[in-house]
Amino acid sequence: MRGHEVRPGKPCPFRIAHGCSIYDERPQHPCREFVCGWLVASSPLPDWMRPDKSDLILLPANFVWRNLPVDVAVAVGSAPKMKALDWLKRFSIERRRCLMYQIDNEWFAFGPPAFQAEIVERIQRGDTAWTD
């Protein structure tokens, strides 16, 4: 985008303090199509989980693994705040969901052992971890 590489899990080069420096001209993909989990009307996330407070962007039910929804938490910076990650783990257990999250650009899986093993295998093969 505008000569800059924009990839999932990487900070946007157009990010400024609390917004976007090209908001009015942002491209359709990925920007206009993107839906932040915190902004969804039915979001269960508390106010303190807002991306600029929790250091993560949640992609709810980004894909499904063995009929279980998988949420993906993308770090804003090097890692999400531990309070936010702990909240998401509890939420995953209570709601029978799987979770993938990033710390220092490394992906981790939280959920049933078979889910964790499959994600590790995908990453080791060089596959995208979050595809079906």
**pLDDT tens by residue, 23-50:** 888 888 777 777 778 888 788 899 999 8
CA 40 to chain centre: 14
Same domain assignment for residues 72 and 48? yes
For residues 80 and 47, membership in a common domain is answered with yes
12 and 77 fall within a common domain: no
What the block records as the tokens of 124 is: 């080791």
The verdict on whether omega for the bond into residue 51 sits within 30 degrees of 0, i.e. cis, is no
Examine the domain organization and report whether 68 and 110 are in the same domain.
yes
- Rounded-to-integer distance, Cα 50 and Cα 46, Å: 8
Sign of CA dihedral 112, 61, 35, 126: positive
E strand or H helix at 114: helix 113-125
Count structural domains, the chain.
2
* pTM: predicted TM-score of the whole model, two decimal places: 0.78
Q: What is the mean pLDDT of the chain?
A: 84
130 is a domain residue: no
pLDDT-derived band of residue 11, with 50, 70 and 90 as boundaries?
low
Q: Which domain holds residue 41?
A: 36-125
pLDDT above 70 for 132: no
